[in-house]
């Protein structure tokens, strides 16, 4: 199997962190257990030396090299009987689920099983034949980061996939997120407009760049303020007008208020949840057949609800209808 070599540099804010934990936080499409196997098999080097112990500590500025086997192009996802996600909406053409945190959307290196796609094929086995030219991503028209929860729309037919993908490409989709940030933004609302591209040192991260990036536009509004673990935090409503990789996380870090729990982009002081407090709250999209504009709302995951409840004063959200025809 062909191998891809990934060169990483441990950021300055990482201190006394296990190698397997840091790699799992950095290479979000690979599971921690898979990365532990790579380490034990001698596929990871720290400062040029092979490391075979997953608990080895990494330190700021350390160079880390990972030999990552690439997925074969002919790889076909296998059906799995584990579809237990909350269904927000379903009809013969599309499905909207509330994706739990910690779940990868489609198979990739290190995650050929246990993804949304695997569970989807277990529930709808006919999709495997209908989407034979999907490149291993049947029904997928957009994605959420592994540790981001919330609204995920899925096409149930190739025709619906074409229509929904077109809506995303033409920016006829409205995406609204909730983010709990470390610190409170200086302005109660704002617009962040930059270029986003690969980080110049850590190629697995994204960053605000001056050139050779893509336009990224984020709108935010502070909904509430409080303190969590004696730290000022804010709950933001965030709308993205573009869909760049890690856009919200990069932009809020650039603002000086990274998403709480986001170890990759500066919000590493945790919540006990082991992930960034970011949730895809609302998604507005035209129906792939009728064209009617529909809005879906995903309830917060339990871990984020707990953090908001433990904030002083406790932060609550008004109850929202799950499905609305706009």
Between CA 319 and CA 323 the distance in angstroms is: 12
Catalytic residue among 145, 147, 262, 303: 145
Beta-carbon count within 10 A of 15 CB: 11
Listed in sequence order, the DSSP H helices in 13-145 are 19-26, 32-40, 116-123, 127-130
Between CA 115 and CA 77 the distance in angstroms is: 9
Between CA 285 and CA 279 the distance in angstroms is: 18
Give the distance from CA 307 to its chain's centroid: 19
Question: Is 96 in contact with 86 (CB distance < 8 Å)?
Answer: no
* CA atoms 197, 200, 203, 204: torsion sign: negative
Q: In the annotation, is 145 catalytic?
A: yes
Partners of 66 in the β-ladder: 6, 44
Between CA 239 and CA 256 the distance in angstroms is: 18
Between CA 311 and CA 230 the distance in angstroms is: 9
Q: DSSP strand E in the chain: where?
A: 3-9, 17-18, 44-46, 49-50, 57-58, 63-69, 86-90, 94-99, 149-155, 174-182, 189-198, 206-209, 214-228, 231-240, 278-286, 293-297, 323-325
Q: H or E segment at 161?
A: helix 158-169
Partners of 53 in the β-ladder: none
Between CA 25 and CA 22 the distance in angstroms is: 5
Between CA 60 and CA 67 the distance in angstroms is: 21
List active site positions: 145
């Amino acid at each position: 199997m062909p191998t891809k070599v990934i060169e990483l540099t441990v950021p300055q804010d990482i201190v006394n962190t296990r190698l397997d934990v840091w790699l799992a936080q950095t290479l979000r499409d690979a599971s921690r257990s898979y990365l532990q196997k790579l380490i034990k098999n001698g596929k990871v080097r720290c400062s040029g030396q092979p490391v075979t112990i997953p608990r080895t500590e990494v330190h700021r500025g350390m160079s880390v090299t990972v030999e990552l086997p690439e997925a074969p192009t002919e790889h076909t996802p296998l059906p799995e009987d584990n579809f237990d996600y909350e269904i927000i909406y379903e009809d013969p053409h599309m499905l909207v689920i509330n994706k739990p945190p910690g779940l990868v959307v489609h198979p990739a290196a290190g995650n050929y099983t246990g993804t949304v796609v695997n569970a989807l094929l277990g529930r709808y086995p006919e999709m495997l034949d209908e989407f034979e030219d999907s490149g291993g991503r049947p029904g997928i028209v957009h994605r959420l980061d592994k540790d981001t929860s919330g609204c995920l729309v899925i096409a149930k037919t190739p025709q619906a996939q074409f229509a929904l993908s077109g809506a995303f490409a033409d920016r006829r989709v409205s995406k609204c997120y909730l983010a709990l940030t470390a610190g409170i933004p200086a302005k109660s609302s704002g617009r962040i407009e930059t270029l986003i591209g690969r980080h110049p040192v850590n190629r697995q991260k994204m960053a605000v760049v001056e050139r050779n990036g893509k336009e990224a536009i984020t709108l935010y509004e502070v909904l509430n303020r409080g303190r969590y673990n004696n730290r000022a935090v804010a709950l933001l409503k965030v709308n993205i007008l573009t869909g760049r990789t890690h856009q919200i996380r990069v932009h809020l870090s650039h603002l000086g208020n990274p998403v709480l729990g986001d170890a990759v982009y500066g919000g590493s002081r945790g919540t006990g949840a082991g992930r960034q407090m970011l949730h895809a709250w609302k998604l507005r999209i035209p129906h792939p057949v009728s064209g009617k504009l529909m809005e879906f709302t995903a309830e917060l995951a339990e871990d984020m609800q707990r953090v908001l409840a433990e904030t002083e004063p406790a932060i609550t959200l008004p109850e929202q209808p799950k499905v609305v025809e706009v």
